[in-house]
Chain A
Amino acid sequence: MECLRLEHIGQIYHAHNGEETAIRDVSFTVEKGELLSIVGPSGCGKSTLLSIVAGLLPPTSGQVFLGGEPLRGYSPRIGYMLQKDNLLEWLTIYQNTLLGLRIRHTLTPRTRMRAETLLRTYGLWPFRDRFPSQLSGGMRQRAALIRTLAVSPDVLLLDEAFSALDYQTRLEVTDDVYAILKQEGVTTLMVTHDIPESISMGDRVLVLSGRPAVVREILPIVFEGGARTPLFCREHPAFTGYFQHIWKELSAHGETG
C-alpha cells in the first residue's frame, strides 16, 4: 500500500548572486512499512528533499502526497530525525523524549505512557533522569529516536542520522534503530551518503545524482536466508554486488569527487 508519494518535486534556491537548481523533477513512492534509503553524493540536495517532505521548505514545483492526500506544509503525521541528536542539554532524557508531545500539545496520560513504554522497551528507562551529556552517543541517538517516535508519526524521515557517530557506535546504532523501526512498523525515508548504510538498512535504495539531483535508479534490495539485520546484510555475499552496482551508478555520471 502506498504511503508517501513525491511527484515531480523541484527546488530552486535564490540568492543575491544567482539561482541554483538543487532538485529537478524527483518522483517516487514509499510503501507502507517500507524503509527506502536515498543515497547520493554530499551536497546533492538529499537533505533539501527531506526538508520538503517534512514541510519545513515549500518545494518550488511538484507535490508531496501522504496516504493519497496532498501535503501542504507541516504535517503532524511526519517525524523528522536530524543528523545530530539535538537533545536539549538542560532537560533530562525523560523530559527530552516528551518534547515533541509538549510542542504539539498532545501530551496526555496515554501519549506519556507510550513514551514511557518506548523508553522501557529500548533500554533507556534506567537513564531517564540523566542528562544527555551523561549518555553515550549511541544512547543519545536512541533517545532522539524515541522522542520522534513518541509522537506516533506515520512516516519517519532520517537525515544522515548516524553520520555524527564513530564507526563502532554507528554499526551498533544502525542495528538498534533498524530493529526499532521494523518492530514499530514505521514507514521510513532515510537519506545517507554512505553506500553500505543505504544497502544494509534499505528495502530499496534510491540513487540520486549530484546537483541538480535527479533520480538515477531505484534498486530493490533482497537478502535471502536469515533474519535481516544491517549487520547480517553487511556480511551477506550479495552485499558486494549491490555495493559495486551503486558505486558505479554514482561515479558513472560525471561525479568528479
Chain B
Amino acid sequence: MAKQDNVSVQQRQYLRREKRYARRVLLCQLGLLIAFLILWEVAGRLGWIDPFIFSGPSRIWQTTRALWNEGLLRHVAVTVGETLAGFLLGALVGTGLAVLLWFSPFLSRVGEPYLVVLNSLPKIALGPVIIVIAGAGTRAIVLMALAISLIVTVLEMLGGFHRTDAELIRMARSFGAGRAQIFRYIVFPYNVPTLFGSLKINIGLSLVGVIAGEFLVSRAGLGYLIVYGGQVFRLDLVMTGVTILTVVAALMYESVALLQKWVMRRYGH
C-alpha cells in the first residue's frame, strides 16, 4: 500500500496521469450526451425527424414544466414507491427462499428444474392472473414487480451461496460449526457482494414490473403517464415519461451502489 505522506515525483505524476484519464472519460461521456441532445433537437427543427412523434429536448423540457404544476412529483413518487416495495419484497423473499434451498440440498435438487423454467417464463404474461387475484390497483403492480425479480434473486443468491469458498467452510467445520453457523459466519457475509449484485439487477427488474403493471392498471405513476400519452396521442408526454423514468432508474441504481460502498467499507471487504 502506498504511503500518502511521502510521495515521490513519479508517484505524483502517476496520480496526475490517472486523474487526467478519468477526467477525459467523464468529458467524453458528457460530450456524448450533449451531442445527442443537440442532434435530437436540431433533427426535429430541421425536419429530419417528425418532432410530433420523436419529440425533442426542448419539447420535453416544456412538457416537464407543465407536468410539474399538474403534480409530476406525485407520479414519480407512486412509481418509486411501487418499485421500492416490489424490490424490497423480491430481495427479502428471494433471499429467504435461497437460504431455505441452501439449507436443504435435497429441496434444492428437487426445485431446480422448476426454478429454471420459472426463470425463463415471461412473468408479464401472468399479468391478467395477478390482476384478478390482487385487484386492479397498487397491489397488482407490486406483485408484478415481485414476480419479475423473485426468481432471479433466488437463483443469484443460491448460486452465490454455492460458490462460497469451500476451504472457508472446511475451516469453520474444523471448529465444529453446524450448518446454521456456517451460514451465519461464512456463507452469508461471503455473499454480501452477491446480495448487492442482485439488488442492482433487481432495481431494473422491479421497474420493468412496475411500468408493465402501470400500463395495465393504474391511475398514477410514470407508466400511467406514458400509456396515457400514447392513448391521447401526446407523444411529448410519452417521451417525457421515458426520460424521467431513465433518471429515476439511474438514481435508484446509484443509491444501491452507494449503499453497497458504505456497507462494504464497514464490512472491510
Contacts and interface: CB of A to CB of B under 8 A. Distances in A.
Chains A and B come from one and the same complex? yes
Most chain A CB within 10 A, of B174, B181, B268, B269, is at B174
Interface string B146-183: 00000000000000000001011011111111000100
> What interface size band does chain A fall in?
20 to 34
Given A82-B167, A103-B181, A88 B186 contact: yes
Given A90-B192, A92-B268, A74 B176 contact: yes
Contacts of B1: 134
- Most chain A CB within 10 A, of B168, B170, B181, is at B170
A243 interface: no
A89 interface: yes
Interface string A83-104: 1101011111000000110111
A124 interface: no
A76 interface: yes
Contacts of A100: 175
Contacts, number: 51
Contacts of B174: 54, 56, 79-80, 82
Interface string B172-206: 11111100010001100110100000000000000
Nearest to B170: A82
Contacts of B186: 88
A38 interface: no
B175 A90 contact: no
B171 A104 contact: no
A91 to B, nearest CB: 7
A134 B2 CA distance: 12
A129 to B, nearest CB: 10
Nearest to B176: A74
B106 interface: no
A99 B176 CA distance: 11
B48 interface: no
A131 interface: yes
Nearest to A133: B268
A82 B167 CA distance: 8
A146 to B, nearest CB: 13
Interface in A126-154: 131, 134, 151
A94 to B, nearest CB: 12
A74 B189 CA distance: 25
Nearest to A132: B268
B189 A90 contact: yes
Contact of B185 (A80, A99, A134): A99
A102 B174 CA distance: 13
B199 to A, nearest CB: 18
A103 B175 contact: yes
A90 B269 contact: yes
A82 B268 contact: no
A235 B173 CA distance: 38
B267 interface: yes
Given A84-B167, A88-B168, A88-B189, A131 B268 contact: yes
A131 B170 CA distance: 21
Nearest to A92: B268
Contacts of B185: 88, 99, 102-103
A92 B268 CA distance: 8
Given A90-B189, A90-B192, A151 B175 contact: yes
Given A99-B185, A103-B181, A131-B268, A86 B176 contact: no
A151 B171 CA distance: 13
Contacts of B176: 74, 76, 103-104
B190 to A, nearest CB: 8
Given A86-B167, A88-B189, A134-B1, A99 B175 contact: yes
Nearest to B193: A90
Interface string A112-133: 0000000000000000000100
Given A90-B269, A99-B172, 5 more contacts: A56-B170, A82-B171, A88-B168, A88-B186, A90-B267
Across chains A and B, which 3 residue pairs bring their CB atoms closest together, nearest first? A80-B174, A86-B171, A103-B175
Interface of B: 1, 165, 167-168, 170-177, 181, 185-186, 189-190, 192, 267-269
Interface of A: 54, 56, 74, 76, 79-80, 82-84, 86, 88-92, 99-100, 102-104, 131, 134, 151
11 contacts: A56-B170, A56-B174, A74-B176, A80-B174, A84-B167, A86-B168, A86-B170, A86-B171, A103-B175, A104-B176, A134-B1
